[in-house]
């Protein structure tokens, strides 16, 4: 599940020392990091005897997608509170098929998703149920993501581990779990999310965890903003797939590997040191981008 890119090159740049942790190939119907983030949330529900889970997302939410998939596997009822406007997507078609009940709400209501009184209101209407924060965040999400670090534990040391960042929960889990790396670098998928570092620090403290290695977040690779794609990213994703056989999506992993490629090509990072990139999945979301063709997936 760790794939070496030895022997591969992209535009003349040798990729030999890059390894990729293919979470996109793990987790069955719920591949990628989201099933890790859900793991402890669901265990908590089962421990409490709760059989109904409610959570939040937009029309292209990888989190709701994973929750619906895992819920149907475990025989749990799932409810997705969906940010208004975009309920008619390929992703939500999947989740409906897996039995998730969708509750479209206005953008104003959706903004209240983390407020206790709003969650109580929802629980009264749809309960008894466990409410999971958007994206599977929170301490349970962090501790679930820590298990990803176990998959990176090989008998050698990585110079760097790199991962895409949305809420920062997965990065925080990795920071708490990784031992065999010199540093952990997050590539933010969001534009100007300058509070991410303090949120990661707060999440670690809230979960009673400490970072075991230095980490930082690079904010320069959002390519226009969350879920946006500029020309550079549009050209990079098919080129990377042609060079490596590894499919990427534009929201998170495309930006991660684009950043990685440029840091190596510019010499900012040494190309002769072993580096692990986490492929956090999300490939189901490719259907939202008409400019992506399935022909760039060379597997």
Rounded CA gap, 148 and 281, in Å?
Answer: 13
Least distance to ligand PLP from the beta carbon of 286, Å? 11
Q: Which is nearer to ligand PLP, 160 or 279 (CB)?
A: 279
Do the Cβ atoms of 62 and 169 come closer than 8 Å?
no
User: What mask of x and - would describe binding to ligand PLP in positions 154 to 183, judged by CB under 6 A?
Assistant: ----------xxxxxxxx------------
Going by the DSSP 8-state scheme, the letter that residue 113 receives in this structure is: T
Q: Name the residue among 196, 208, 132 with its Cα closest to residue 170.
A: 196
Least distance to ligand PLP from the beta carbon of 100, Å? 17
Q: Which is nearer to ligand PLP, 64 or 264 (CB)?
A: 64
Q: Which residue has the tokens 């709760």?
A: 50
Q: Which is nearer to ligand PLP, 49 or 276 (CB)?
A: 276
Q: Three-state SS for 24? A: helix
Integer angstrom CA distances of residue 209 from 33, 174, 205, 219: 19, 11, 6, 24
Angle between helices 196-206 and 138-151 (to 10 degrees): 90
Q: Classify each residue of 258-284 as buried b or exposed e, where b means 16 or more C-beta atoms within 10 Å of its C-beta.
A: bbbbbbbeeeebeeeebbbbbbbbbbb
Residue list 22-41, contact with ligand PLP (CB under 6 A) = 32-34
Least distance to ligand PLP from the beta carbon of 216, Å? 14
Residue nearest to ligand PLP (CB): 282
Q: Which is nearer to ligand PLP, 80 or 281 (CB)?
A: 281
Least distance to ligand PLP from the beta carbon of 249, Å? 7
Q: Which is nearer to ligand PLP, 168 or 247 (CB)?
A: 168
- With binding defined as CB under 6 A, does residue 78 bind ligand PLP? no
Least distance to ligand PLP from the beta carbon of 28, Å? 16
Interface with ligand PLP: number of residues (CB under 6 A): 18
Least distance to ligand PLP from the beta carbon of 225, Å? 15
Q: Is the peptide bond before 128 cis (omega within 30 degrees of 0)?
A: yes
Q: Which residue has the tokens 């509070």?
A: 195
Least distance to ligand PLP from the beta carbon of 267, Å? 27
Rounded CA gap, 199 and 174, in Å?
Answer: 15
Least distance to ligand PLP from the beta carbon of 228, Å? 15
User: What mask of x and - would describe binding to ligand PLP in positions 238 to 277, judged by CB under 6 A?
Assistant: --------------xx------------------------
Q: Which is nearer to ligand PLP, 16 or 234 (CB)?
A: 234
Do the Cβ atoms of 86 and 60 come closer than 8 Å?
yes
Residue list 38-77, contact with ligand PLP (CB under 6 A) = 62
Do the Cβ atoms of 297 and 240 come closer than 8 Å?
no
Interface residues with ligand PLP (CB under 6 A) are 32-34, 62, 135, 164-171, 252-253, 280-282
């Amino acid at each position: 599940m760790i794939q070496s890119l030895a022997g591969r090159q992209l535009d003349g740049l040798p990729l030999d020392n890059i390894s990729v942790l293919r979470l996109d190939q793990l987790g069955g119907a719920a591949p990628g990091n989201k099933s890790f983030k859900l793991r402890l949330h669901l265990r908590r529900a089962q421990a409490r005897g709760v059989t109904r889970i409610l959570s939040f997302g937009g029309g292209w939410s990888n989190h709701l997608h994973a929750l619906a998939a895992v819920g149907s596997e475990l025989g749990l009822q799932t409810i997705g509170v969906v940010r208004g406007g975009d309920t008619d997507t390929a992703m939500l078609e999947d989740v409906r098929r897996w039995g998730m009940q969708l509750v479209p709400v206005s953008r104003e209501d959706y903004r209240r998703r983390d407020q206790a009184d709003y969650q109580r209101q929802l629980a009264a209407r749809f309960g008894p149920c466990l409410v999971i924060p958007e994206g599977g965040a929170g301490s349970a999400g962090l501790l679930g993501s820590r298990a990803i670090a176990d998959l990176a534990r090989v008998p050698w040391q990585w110079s760097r581990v790199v991962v895409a960042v949305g809420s920062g929960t997965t990065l925080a889990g990795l920071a708490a779990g990784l031992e065999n790396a010199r540093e952990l670098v997050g590539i933010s998928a969001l534009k100007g999310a300058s509070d991410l570092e303090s949120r990661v620090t707060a999440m670690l403290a809230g979960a009673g965890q400490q970072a075991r290695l230095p980490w930082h977040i690079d904010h320069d690779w959002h390519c226009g903003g969350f879920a946006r794609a500029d020309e550079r990213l549009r050209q990079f994703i098919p080129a990377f797939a042609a060079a490596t056989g590894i499919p990427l999506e534009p929201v998170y992993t495309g930006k991660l590997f684009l950043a990685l490629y440029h840091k190596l090509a510019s010499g900012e990072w040494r190309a002769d040191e072993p580096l692990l990139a986490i492929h956090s999945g999300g490939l189901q979301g490719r259907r939202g981008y008409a400019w992506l063709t399935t022909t760039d997936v060379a597997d």
